[in-house]
Structure formats: structure tokens, C-alpha cells
Amino acid sequence: MQLDNIIKKFQSQNILLLQGPVGPFFYSLSKKLKEQDCKVYKINFNGGDFLFYPFNALTYRKSFEAFPEFLEKIIKKYAIECIILFNDCRPIHKISLDLAKILQIPCYVFEEGYIRPDFITFEKSGVNAYSKIPKSKNFYLQYKEQTAFPIKKVQHSFRNMAWFSFLYWFASFCLSQYFNNALHHRSLSPKEMFPWFLSLFRKWLYIWSEKNNNALILASKKKYFVAILQVHNDTQIKNHFSGRRIENFIKNTIKSFAKNSKPKHFLVIKHHPMDRGYRNYKNFIKRQTKKYNITHRVIYIHDSHLPTLLHNALGCIVINSTTGLSALLHNCPTKVCGNAFYDIDELTFQESLDKFWKATKKYKINLQLYKKFRSYLIDNTQINGSFYGKLSN
């Protein structure tokens, strides 16, 4: 999909924007909507929201409990016809989605791209496990591709995101006396500076300390499984995974691997790069592996080339990360342990994790199904673009 074409569908509507991604994306979006004769309203909840959307915005400072009444008044006062937000699992957004459903007002949700790095997600009603996309493999096998535009590459996305994140946090901290920062889904405390510096230090440390492990993995094609960790406070973990904690995923994966895998295989546990400064599971993993006497068969890494890691793996285990889609792209059998929109028969392994370890040699991803599924996502849920970077010419 292309953003300009989507915006045209909202022509002349009264639109309410809630929280967007860090950075100026929602401010730019409002300008494009106004070019389509839309009346655009915005609610800010903290100094970061204010920094990137400083003009013609409403402010909410009260409690979670008082927000539904406030929001309903805004909706009625301005005759809101549509709500647009980023991430459907933030507490303030879950309240908004519930109220909008009662009032029968359509909501559209932005999210990081299902297919990265050149796409962002945009769906009606919900994303990820709340997505309304079909779950039937037969639907996709019969689907005909519609994409007729060249897909452009995104430039400078990560660098800009890091800078926008810092500015968002800094503004939220500096303006905290004017807002209720407790409404945010993550901490806006000044203590957040420490993990950022720690992350930078650890990045350089791991380049040196994990050199031998990465070399071993590269030399062990089709001899290992890879378990993908997500950010410890990822809303997808809290809302769409029964274990609700990364530690439970690690514990269950190691236990299952120890009891059911072949002794010649080993397990690579891949840390999330955005969580580098916040969590280190080294000691926790060591305790779990000692229980089953498999410490020598489990490798914990932080920085490794993910496409190569997936391409050479026997299989991939995820909670509900979109890395699962990347694994499918590399024809790597994938087991989903949480709720994920792509957990579909013949795309992902549908039996238990215990059976996964010995089934991957014979298990085959339906590549035709994957191709059709990917085409459907690009045609109906993915916008070629970025919240943080520009498209190449």
C-alpha cells in the first residue's frame, strides 16, 4: 500500500489522533489529512507528545479511570468519525479502542512493519494478534497479488529512531510537571538514561566477547535451533503470551529442548538489540541449563547477523515476534509459542514445541502459501515507508 492513497480514503472526515510513534510522523500525517479537507484533532499525554505535536492539540493529564469520560466528550464535541493511533496494546489505547467499539467509531492502528525494514503496518481495528486478517490457508492460496508499485528502500531509519526516542524521553522528563507521565506504557524516569549508555557499552563489548560463539554458529549450518527473545516490556508479550514474561519463554524452551532434541544439536538464544541495556539473561540461562546438564549445548548471543542466523538454523522458536516472518522468508521452520497473526497451518509448525525439535528435518513450509500470504500483507496491511526515515528516490 502507499500512504498517499490511503489518506485519500479519509477525505473530509473529522479525525482524532492519539499517541503516534516517537518522532514527527503524526504531525506530518495530520498535514496530509488536512490536504484532504479533514479536520484533525490530537490528544497529547506527555511532553514527548507535545514536542512532536506542539500546535492545535488537546492535553489529557488526569487518571486512566477518568479517560473514557473525557474521550467520549471529545468524540461528541468534535463529531469524531475516525480514530487513528499507534500500537493497540498501550493502556490508554486499549481504553480508546473499547470505547470506540461501543460508540461504533472506526479505529485505525499503525504499528511497526510486519515486513521489515521497508514497511510500516496500518490496519483497521487492531494489529498483530488483534488483527482481523484471515487465518485460513485456503484463503491465501486463492489470493491474487495486487501490488503494482515499485517497493522503495528506507534510509537512515534506525539512527533517526534512536534520536527521536531520546528527544521524546527528554521532553517528557523536562515537562513532567505539566503532564501525568504515569499514563505512558513505559517508564519516563530520568533513570532511563543509564540503560541507553549501558546498551552502547555492551554493544562494543559483545562484538569482542561473542566473536568465538558467532564463528561457531556460522560453522554449524543446520546443527542448531534459534530462540528469538523480545523486549522485556513488549506489549505483545503482556497481551498475547500466556507466560507473560521472557523468563518463562526461556525456561520452557530450554526444558523442552533438553528433553526432546537430539544430543548433536544445540540451541542459540538471541537477545533483542533494543533490550541490550535493560536485561541480561546470562545467569538465568546458565541456571536453567544446569538443571538439565546441557550448558555446553546452549549459546546465548546478543549481536549476530539475523538473516544468516535464520538461514542456517534447523528451526526458529518465537513468542510472537515478526522475526517469525523473517524466518519463513529464509525457509526456516518456525514454532510460535504465543498468539501471532501468522501462526497458520502450513506456514508455522502446528504441533507442540516438544515435537518440534525432531520434526524440522521432515517439516516443509508451504512456500506457495508463504508467497501468497506475504503478498496479501503488502497489499492490505503494509505501507511502503517508515516512521523514522525517508524512502529512497
Cα 121 from chain centre: 10
Instruction: Tell me: pLDDT of 36 over 70.
Output: yes
| Torsions phi, psi for 43 (to 5 deg) | -110, 125
Domain-wise residue ranges, the chain: 3-169+380-391, 209-376
- Please give the average per-residue pLDDT across 126-139, as a whole number: 95
pLDDT score of 82: 98
pLDDT score of 190: 78
Q: For 38-61, what is each residue's pLDDT tens digit?
A: 999 999 999 999 999 999 999 999
| Torsions phi, psi for 295 (to 5 deg) | -55, -35
- Please give the average per-residue pLDDT across 237-257, as a whole number: 95
CATH of 209-376, one of 3.40.50.1980, 3.40.50.620, 3.40.50.2000, 3.40.50.1950: 3.40.50.2000
Alpha helices in the chain (DSSP H): 3-8, 25-34, 47-52, 67-77, 91-103, 137-141, 157-174, 193-209, 211-218, 235-240, 246-260, 282-291, 306-311, 323-329, 353-359, 367-380
Q: Which residues pair with 266 in a beta bridge?
A: 224
* DSSP string computed for 214-252: HHHHHT-TTSEEEEE---TT-HHHHHH-TT-SHHHHHHH
pLDDT score of 167: 96
Share of the chain above pLDDT 90, in %: 86
pLDDT score of 158: 85
Instruction: Give the burial class of 22: count Cβ atoms within 10 A of its Cβ; 0-12 exposed, 13-18 middle, 19 or more buried.
Output: buried
Q: For 346-380, what is each residue's pLDDT tens digit?
A: 999 999 999 999 999 999 999 999 999 999 999 99
**Of 68-72, 199-203, 313-317, minimum mean pLDDT range:** 199-203
pLDDT score of 348: 98
Q: How far apart are CA 114 and CA 128, in angstroms?
A: 8
SS3 300: strand
- Please give the average per-residue pLDDT across 150-161, as a whole number: 87
Instruction: Tell me: pLDDT of 129 over 70.
Output: yes
Answer whether 3-169+380-391 and 209-376 agree in fold: yes
**In CATH, 3-169+380-391 is 3.40.50.20:** yes
Instruction: Tell me: pLDDT of 393 over 70.
Output: no
Instruction: Give the burial class of 219: count Cβ atoms within 10 A of its Cβ; 0-12 exposed, 13-18 middle, 19 or more buried.
Output: exposed
